[in-house]
Structure 1
Amino acid sequence: MNKGRLFLIPVPLGLTATDSVLPQPVIDRARHLKHFVAENAKSARAFLKSLPSATPLQQIEISELNEHTSPAALPELLAPLLAGFDVGLISEAGCPAVADPGANLVALAHVEGIQVLPMIGPSSILLALMGSGLSGQNFAFHGYLPAKDDQRKIRLRELEKDSRQEKRTQIFIETPYRNRQMLETLINACAPNTRICVATDLTLSSECIMTRTPAEWRRQEGPNIDRRPTVFLLQA
């Protein structure tokens, strides 16, 4: 029996029209899939409803894969693929398998010889880098930094030092309710000539991307980033 294909289906980064951020071939593919693995089943159903799906939602199989999923449960998620059905992998927002637990399923699919097909869609990390004015030739994404203030400050200074030595843009994210603390730490921990970019609500009508030095951040009022999806970047 032929194996199914694993399609990596991007989704919007927030509440916006699906066809404004996703190419039509991605929408068409997602509309006709009947098996999905999603970070959150509820949001996946909302996404499929927005397309709308060619299959009634109650007939679509959605399995969850998130940070709480045990590695031992991953083989079961491949069962439809091994039975010959195509499957769509969906993240909570943006591109699956990038800063996303779906990467574990993709890795296992390769082990099982299943074809993996990434599809085009919005990535907050790349969109933030594109709009930052910082180096796109050499960059690194670090996910979440330490939550405690003193540890976060130490880590930021390490990243700043690496950025200065390697001419590298450093990219990271924060839990939205700690965004303001992250920006305050950046302003206070970074050297005067370091450029700090804050990219908020990417692809939404409220999108805002600002790149400033610490002194400029202190002088000028910044965007409201409290509890809003935000990507942070720095280049020393």
Structure 2
Amino acid sequence: MTGTLYLIPNTLGTNEESVSDPLLSVIPTEVQATTAKLAYFIAENAKTTRAFLKLVNAAHPLAQPLQSITIAELNVNTPAAALPALLAPLLNGQDAGLISEAGVPAVADPGANLVRLAHEHGIQVRPLVGPSSLLLAVMSSGLNGQSFAFNGYLPTDAEQRTKRIKALELRSRQEKQTQLFIETPYRNSAFLEALSTTCQANTLICVATDLTLPSETIKTQTAARWKTALAANKGPDFHKKPTVFLLLAE
């Protein structure tokens, strides 16, 4: 009998005011308890996973010492040929937890291919409840939540990025579909400037930053208003902060 692959959500950031608050406020007790029972984890980042397990341990003592828990890394640099070895313990009957560096695993996350392989091997996959920055951003944006698409990172080359923004704005207008993006946090300002100057004046743009944290900010307004705010140095305080960008052309 094979083990179960649990998809374990992580917090979306650290609350500097209280180390434990993010875990207690966004990760359900049942998820913490399930996590505490596991001895094998497949993680995007071993260091952040150990930090997460320390928080879990404070509320639900781990079944065994942290130093004896196995954490195998799976990130964007992991070759496909290495995936079967990560699933080997599950095929031998051991349960495992797949955990992202932030938010839910396998969504905008390298764990998706492992989940697919688990299905191919008949391994039970159990998604656990937790924070998703993408869904939280859609929920709070006021934009179309019936039809939306996540586009990941856009090109860093300015010309290519502009072409991509225009193409996605056109799709948004034609299909009435909300478009979602993320950017490397230190490029947030440049990305918002590109959106506000490339999009038509009445296109709605939402900027959702530090979701679930005390510093959380969410604002939706037209591209024209964002452009005016940036010109007056009144843009959002989101430098080096995790941010989701959304647009809807009407």
TM-score between the two structures when normalised by the length of structure 1: 0.98
Structure 1: give runs of 5+ residues left out of the alignment. Answer: none
Compute the displacement of 1:114 (Å).
Answer: 0.1
TM-score between the two structures when normalised by the length of structure 2: 0.92
Work out whether 1:194 is the aligned partner of 2:203. Answer: yes
Pairing partner for 2:88 from 75, 79, 95 = 79
Work out whether 1:54 is the aligned partner of 2:63. Answer: yes
Work out whether 1:233 is the aligned partner of 2:246. Answer: yes
Compute the displacement of 1:222 (Å).
Answer: 2.7
Question: Alpha-carbon deviations, 1:162-183, whole Å to 9, x = none?
Answer: 0000000000101111111100
Pairing partner for 1:101 from 107, 110, 114 = 110
Pairing partner for 1:37 from 42, 66, 78 = 42
Partner residue in 1 for 2:151? 142
d(CA) in 2 for partners of 1:57, 1:222:
43
Partner residue in 2 for 1:118? 127
Compute the displacement of 1:54 (Å).
Answer: 3.4
Partner residue in 1 for 2:99? 90
Alpha-carbon contact 2:39-2:63 (below 8 Å) kept: no
Matched AA of 2:3:
G
CA RMSD, 1 decimal: 0.8
Q: Secondary structure at the match of 1:156?
A: helix
Q: Secondary structure at the match of 2:149?
A: strand
d(CA) in 1 for partners of 2:194, 2:5:
41
Q: Secondary structure at the match of 2:107?
A: coil
Compute the displacement of 1:147 (Å).
Answer: 0.8
Q: How many residues align?
A: 235
d(CA) in 1 for partners of 2:198, 2:235:
18
Question: Alpha-carbon deviations, 1:87-135, whole Å to 9, x = none?
Answer: 0000010000000000011000000000000000000000000000000
Compute the displacement of 1:55 (Å).
Answer: 1.9
Partner residue in 1 for 2:10? 11
Partner residue in 2 for 1:70? 79
Compute the displacement of 1:219 (Å).
Answer: 3.2
Compute the displacement of 1:217 (Å).
Answer: 1.3
d(CA) in 2 for partners of 1:218, 1:113:
51
Q: Which runs of 4+ in 1 moved over 3 A?
A: none
